[in-house]
Amino acid sequence: MLDIKFVRENIAEVERRLATRGGSLDLSNLKALDEKRRSLLTETEALKSKRNTVSEEIGKLKKEKKDASRLLSEMQDESARIKALDAEIGGCEKELNDLLLVLPNLPSPSVPVGKDETENPVTRVWGSVPEFGFTPLEHTEVGERLGILDFERAGKLSGARFSLQKGPGALLERALINFMLDLHTTKHGYTEVLPPFMVKSEAMLGTGQLPKFGDDLFKIEGWDHYLIPTAEVPVTNMHGGEILEEESLPLCYTAYTPCFRKEAGSYGKDVKGLIRQHQFNKVELVKFSHPDTSYDELEKLTNNAEEVLKELGLHYRVVTLCTGDMGFSSAKTYDIEVWLPGQGKFREISSCSNFEDFQARRANIRFRPRGGKPRFLHTLNGSGLAVGRTLVAILENFQQEDGSVVVPEALRKYMGGLEIIRKKS
């Protein structure tokens, strides 16, 4: 959520910067509501002030056993007016809030202006395209031939966009989760969190999924709860409403959770395989940062996610999302894209964002500067990494002509020393 004060004082700039996200918007409605609210406030507060002093007087008169009926009847009317004004202010604030809640974050000035994903500049590349002496297969093919991926049975249970892994396929997923968590906790200094996988709507509001993107979420019938679409939601909202010590920043958390997404509107996209699922595993990185250092923290966080791919030996590139391709809550986002030989292209495997104080304001997460007033802090997060897509990358990059898959060195200790996944004969 944007700061209404900032919007008020910089309305033209806000309009201009938001417009770079695409689409047009008009903040005149917001401006009018804000002005109305403030003038109503001035009016009602003056009345309340009067009521307070008169009420005190009435108290005195009564104590002295004097007649207060004139003041009493006068105040009856005033009170009714205050009540009506308060109701009007309430409505005004609700309307204003509703508008603010659906306004996206301002892109950071460092974000390239562009209309869509075709205008995302490549920021860096690591490794190189692996060469095969044969035509590499897509992961679905590799996995099904090995008997470790079973989409047919998953479909029987749950329909499209679900998967089932078996034997070394299930083990590989588990190994990846443990490997990533260990890397981030031991080497990068993050604290592991195992959060709830269901949260209240308040939490979804805090990180920006609600009210605008409810269609993408699975809601629990009869409850105010939703299945989380990412660990970002529970982990960021973990400190909702809190005032943290300045010295404790940055707080760095890593969390494994399954993620549940409806993928509404993606019909026909990635219908096959593990790329786009209603349920997938992810290890997430979340930071609560001092505003002064949040962009340094974004670089570090992105590097921490990249490290996973480096250790696994997977070729990838980092792109900076342009203004037109950024998510609703983000001020700046890097996507990490891994090379998939079976598809012959880079695919997103991580998205690392700085939300500045956008989520902190919604979720009311602050810190106390030494001796000063509480301030909103900055929140960041990134996938470190999407586990299913990492498994896809491994199957595609380390497949061999005979259909087997070499297990990356870094994962072997998590797989009982297994070096190669072969078809069970």
Between 248 and 425, whose beta carbon lies closer to RNA? 248
Q: Write out the H or E segment, with its range, that includes residue 321.
A: none
Q: Is 191 in the site for RNA (CB under 7 A)?
A: no
Q: What are phi and psi of 104, to 5 degrees?
A: -75, 170
- Contact region for RNA (CB under 7 A) — 46-54, 101-109, 137-145, 191-199? 46-54
Q: How far is CA 413 from CA 283, 386, 398, in A?
A: 19, 20, 17
Among 95, 144, 348, 375, which one carries the catalytic annotation? 348
Bridge partner residues of 367 (DSSP): 244, 375
What is the C-alpha separation between 254 and 173, in angstroms, rounded?
17
Q: How far is the CB of 283 from RNA (least distance, A)?
A: 22
In the residue annotation, 348 being an active-site residue is answered as: yes
What stretches of 115-260 show up as alpha helix (H) in DSSP?
A: 139-146, 151-158, 168-182, 201-207, 232-237
Q: Residues 42, 97, 123, 191: which binds RNA (CB under 7 A)?
A: 42
Binding-site member from 66, 373, 416, 417 for RNA (CB under 7 A): 373
Strand-strand pairing, 405-406 and 420-421: antiparallel
Q: Which amino acid is at 23?
A: G
Distance in Å, CB of 70 to RNA, minimum: 11
Residue 205 makes contact with RNA by CB under 7 A:
no
Stretch that binds RNA, among 71-79, 205-213, 214-222, 343-351 (CB under 7 A): 71-79
- Residues in the interface with RNA (CB under 7 A) total 27
If the CB atoms of residues 269 and 370 are measured against RNA, the closer one turns out to be: 370
Active-site residue 276, yes or no? yes
CA–CA distance, 383 with 389 (Å, rounded to integer): 11
Has 383 been annotated as catalytic? Answer: no
- Beta strand pairing call for 251-260 and 279-289: antiparallel
Rg (CA), the chain: 27
Decide: is 269 part of the binding site for RNA (CB under 7 A): no
DSSP, collapsed to helix, strand or coil, labels residue 161 as: coil
d(CA 39, CA 45): 10
Which 349-368 residues touch RNA, going by CB under 7 A?
366
Catalytic residue status for 351: yes
Task: Indicate whether 55 belongs to the interface with RNA (CB under 7 A).
Answer: yes
The yes or no reply on residue 99 touching RNA (CB under 7 A) is no
Note whether 66 binds RNA by CB under 7 A.
Answer: no
Which is closer to RNA, CB of 58 or CB of 406?
58
Contact 286, 232 (CB under 8 A): yes
Chain positions contacting RNA, by CB under 7 A: 4-5, 38, 41-42, 45-46, 48-49, 51-56, 58-59, 62, 72, 75-76, 78-79, 90, 366, 373-374
Catalogue the active-site residues.
Answer: 261, 276, 348, 351, 389
